[in-house]
Amino acid sequence: MSRPFSAFRANARDHRAGILVAALSSAFGVALVGGVDVLAAFIGGSSMGERASVQLALAIVAGIFFVVAVYVGAIVTTNTFATVIAGRTRTIALLRLIGSSARAQRRSVAGEGLAVGLIGAAVGGAAAAVLSLLAVRLLVMTGVLPVAQYPVLSLLMVPPAVVVVLTTWLASWVGSRRVLAVTPVQALGAAQERPAAAVRSRGRLAVSLVLILSGTALLVLGLLLGTGAFVRVSAALAQLSSYGVLVALPGGILSFTGIVLAAPFFLPAVLRAIGLLLGRGAAGRLAAANAVRNPERSSRTAIGLVIGVTLITMFVVAASTWQQLIRDAQANEPGMYQGADEIIGGTMTVFTVLVGFSAMIAACGVVNTLSLSVLQRGRELGLLRALGFTAAQVRRMVLAESAQLTVASVLTGLALGTVYGWIGAQSLLGMIPGGGVLAPVLPWPFLAAIVLGAAVLAVVAALAPTRRATRVSPVAALAVE
């Protein structure tokens, strides 16, 4: 255990955001357990009919939220470690040159991931347990929740923290796979991104297509099951209608994983097209060209923002559609949903908190990936300065890259998040008495806030390290390892 922590201490600065992501993921899971227990007690004391089915649906939703949060945290961690490794290429090559093996270096990086997971999960879980107690007391004092005994703390809060440790460790192992491709001869040059041919391999394309197609098939099947499309077709399939969301969940994970893997094939071209539309000056043209010149870097930074926008949009659309489905069912079957307004209000409060957690997880990943990507381009920015670019032109180039990144990522994330959120809500509650198929409910103020927040994050995360990089003289920047 001392060896992983020694490697972690030597590179602690690189892992600040990773610890925060692990802490937020752990806090998310612990808060979910406490929230479900509180809402279950709340619903159990209400006059609403079909309490058991609502409580079951609530437990399923909580499990789905946690799985999604852990999955997103793992993707963010994988992306972060891949970015960190890209910046350490020359250091790793030097260690290879003096006799260290690639597998030893990869074990060292994975050990850092284990340390990140342990520290983050412990801090986040403890903080969430304390905050859950305080939140329940505050909600009771303000009248949002009626006075009652709410079981907030339980042993079920431990498994989410353990899961976060394991997934962070696994994500660091996956993110460090590039270590195996670092050769000793790279110690003689600067750290470089892999060439386009190495990133856009046929094997990667085949795997991504299989994941996207299989995931889409499961999403469609889950939607059809949840909306009762098979009730008159097959008795066996009709019995599975209540589990449509459990079929759609792995479909969403598989399809989105396929999209992440396929990002180097389509995102650089999209970024370049948007970049050419945004500006024709030297800085704008160079920013557009950079998207295609370094497909791994551009897709890695873009997919971080896509993940964030998709996650938040999915939760917002799912919550809004869920709320409208309940209200429609209440209007169609008023006798079965007595007290539904009170339940909706309490549940939407919890959903708002969960969306806030999701936003923080996504923001950490976006800021960390963008900041690291810019900081690791010290030699590139120094070369531009040496060739005649002023500091202002370099900042304009980075701003243009951030603009094209924001537009492409926000459009992609909004589309994916709307589809995933709608399918999630529909496959979960499409078969409730009085329910039915409903078009996606798009809360435009929330979506506008997502777009604005994504733009601000992209600009701030890129310009702050760029300002630091351009303060260094071109000669000193060219000497950066």
Among 267, 285, 299, 478, residue whose Cα is nearest residue 396? 285
255, pLDDT greater than 70: yes
Residue written as tokens 């499990």? 63
pLDDT tens digit sequence for 426-472: 887 766 776 677 888 888 888 888 888 878 877 777 776 677 667 76
Burial of 448: CB neighbours in 10 Å, binned 0-12, 13-18, 19+: exposed
More confident residue, 370 or 70: 70
User: Which of the listed ranges 2-16, 250-264, 371-385 does the model predict with the highest average pLDDT?
Assistant: 250-264
Other beta carbons within 10 Å of 73: 30
405 vs 394: CA distance, rounded Å: 16
Work out the angle at residue 81's Cα, subtended by the Cα atoms of residues 75 and 85, and round it to the nearest 5 degrees. 145
pLDDT at 210 over 90: yes
Q: Which pLDDT belongs to residue 251?
A: 93
pLDDT digits (tens, 9 = 90+) for 110-121: 888 888 889 988
Distance CA 360, CA 457 (A): 11
Q: Is the pLDDT of residue 192 over 70?
A: no
Give the residue with greater pLDDT, 85 vs 313. 313
Banded model confidence at residue 1, pLDDT cuts 50, 70, 90 = very low
Rounded to whole angstroms, the maximal C-alpha distance in the chain is 77
| Whether the predicted pLDDT of 242 surpasses 80 | no
Burial state string for 90-120 with b = 16 or more CB within 10 A and e = fewer than 16: bbbbbbbeeeeebeebbbbbbbbbbbbbbbb
Whether the CB-CB separation of 312 and 362 falls below 8 Å is answered with yes
Distance CA 433, CA 225 (A): 15
> Which 3 state secondary structure label does DSSP give 146?
coil
- Percent of the chain surpassing pLDDT 70: 72
Burial of 209 (0-12, 13-18, 19+ CB in 10 A): middle
Confidence of residue 209 (pLDDT cuts 50, 70, 90): very high
* DSSP-derived secondary structure for 401-432: HHHHHHHHHHHHHHHHHHHHHHHHHHHHHTTS
- Supply the pTM of this predicted model: 0.76
Cβ-Cβ contacts under 8 Å for 320 (sequence gap 6 or more): 441, 442, 443, 446
What's the CA angle centered on 330, arms 327 and 336, to 5 degrees? 145
Q: Copy the structure tokens of residue 93.
A: 């090559």
Are 428 and 57 in contact, with CB atoms under 8 Å apart?
yes
Nearest to 252 by CA among 220, 215, 304: 215
Quick: pLDDT tens for 4-46.
566 666 666 667 777 877 887 788 778 777 777 777 776 665 5
